[in-house]
Protein backbone atom coordinates (compact mmCIF):
# COMPACT_ATOMS: atom_id res chain seq x y z
CA UNK A 1 0.00 0.00 0.00
CA UNK A 2 1.30 3.42 -0.91
CA UNK A 3 0.67 6.51 1.17
CA UNK A 4 1.69 10.16 1.05
CA UNK A 5 4.98 9.30 2.76
CA UNK A 6 6.01 6.71 0.17
CA UNK A 7 8.31 8.31 -2.40
CA UNK A 8 6.90 8.17 -5.90
CA UNK A 9 9.44 7.27 -8.54
CA UNK A 10 8.97 9.75 -11.33
CA UNK A 11 8.60 8.33 -14.80
CA UNK A 12 9.40 10.64 -17.66
CA UNK A 13 6.55 9.69 -19.97
CA UNK A 14 8.56 10.71 -23.03
CA UNK A 15 11.45 8.36 -22.24
CA UNK A 16 9.54 5.61 -20.44
CA UNK A 17 6.60 5.50 -22.84
CA UNK A 18 7.52 2.14 -24.33
CA UNK A 19 7.35 0.29 -20.99
CA UNK A 20 3.57 0.73 -20.83
CA UNK A 21 1.02 -1.41 -22.70
CA UNK A 22 -0.12 0.01 -26.04
CA UNK A 23 -3.63 0.89 -24.82
CA UNK A 24 -2.13 2.91 -21.97
CA UNK A 25 0.37 4.61 -24.29
CA UNK A 26 -2.51 5.66 -26.54
CA UNK A 27 -4.56 6.92 -23.60
CA UNK A 28 -1.62 9.01 -22.33
CA UNK A 29 -1.10 10.41 -25.82
CA UNK A 30 -4.79 11.35 -26.20
CA UNK A 31 -4.82 12.91 -22.74
CA UNK A 32 -1.76 15.05 -23.53
CA UNK A 33 -3.28 16.16 -26.86
CA UNK A 34 -6.56 17.02 -25.11
CA UNK A 35 -4.70 18.89 -22.38
CA UNK A 36 -2.97 21.11 -24.94
CA UNK A 37 -6.24 21.74 -26.81
CA UNK A 38 -8.01 22.60 -23.55
CA UNK A 39 -5.27 25.07 -22.60
CA UNK A 40 -5.78 26.75 -25.95
CA UNK A 41 -9.53 26.93 -25.31
CA UNK A 42 -10.33 24.78 -28.33
CA UNK A 43 -11.50 21.58 -26.67
CA UNK A 44 -14.27 20.68 -24.27
CA UNK A 45 -13.79 16.88 -24.04
CA UNK A 46 -10.87 17.17 -21.64
CA UNK A 47 -12.84 15.66 -18.72
CA UNK A 48 -13.49 12.57 -20.82
CA UNK A 49 -9.78 12.22 -21.58
CA UNK A 50 -8.95 12.52 -17.88
CA UNK A 51 -11.47 9.82 -16.94
CA UNK A 52 -10.36 7.53 -19.77
CA UNK A 53 -6.72 7.74 -18.73
CA UNK A 54 -7.56 7.19 -15.06
CA UNK A 55 -9.62 4.15 -16.06
CA UNK A 56 -6.84 2.76 -18.25
CA UNK A 57 -4.30 3.24 -15.45
CA UNK A 58 -6.61 1.34 -13.09
CA UNK A 59 -7.09 -1.47 -15.61
CA UNK A 60 -3.35 -1.74 -16.25
CA UNK A 61 -2.63 -1.84 -12.51
CA UNK A 62 -5.28 -4.42 -11.65
CA UNK A 63 -4.39 -6.65 -14.60
CA UNK A 64 -0.71 -6.56 -13.66
CA UNK A 65 0.41 -4.75 -16.83
CA UNK A 66 2.04 -2.06 -14.64
CA UNK A 67 3.04 -1.99 -10.99
CA UNK A 68 1.23 0.01 -8.32
CA UNK A 69 4.27 2.27 -8.17
CA UNK A 70 4.04 2.96 -11.90
CA UNK A 71 0.28 3.54 -11.64
CA UNK A 72 0.67 6.06 -8.83
CA UNK A 73 3.53 7.73 -10.64
CA UNK A 74 1.30 8.22 -13.69
CA UNK A 75 -1.60 9.44 -11.57
CA UNK A 76 0.67 11.88 -9.77
CA UNK A 77 2.88 13.10 -12.63
CA UNK A 78 0.40 13.06 -15.52
CA UNK A 79 -3.02 13.56 -13.90
CA UNK A 80 -1.91 15.53 -10.84
CA UNK A 81 -3.61 13.18 -8.38
CA UNK A 82 -2.12 12.94 -4.89
CA UNK A 83 -2.38 9.67 -2.97
CA UNK A 84 -3.73 10.55 0.47
CA UNK A 85 -4.13 7.02 1.89
Predicted confidence (pLDDT) at residue 81 exceeds the cutoff of 60: yes
Predicted TM-score (pTM) of this structure: 0.76
Taking only the tens place, the pLDDT of each residue in 4-41 is 444 445 445 455 667 899 999 999 999 998 888 888 88
Taking only the tens place, the pLDDT of each residue in 51-60 is 999 999 999 9
Is residue 65 classed exposed, middle or buried when 0-12, 13-18 and 19+ CB atoms within 10 A define those classes?
A: middle
**Distance, CA of 26 to CA of 65 (rounded, Å):** 15
Query: What pLDDT is attached to residue 2?
Result: 41
Residue 40 is classified by DSSP as: T
Amino acid sequence: MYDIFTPIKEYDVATQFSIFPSYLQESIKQYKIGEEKAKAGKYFGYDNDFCQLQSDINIAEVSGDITSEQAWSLRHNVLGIVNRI
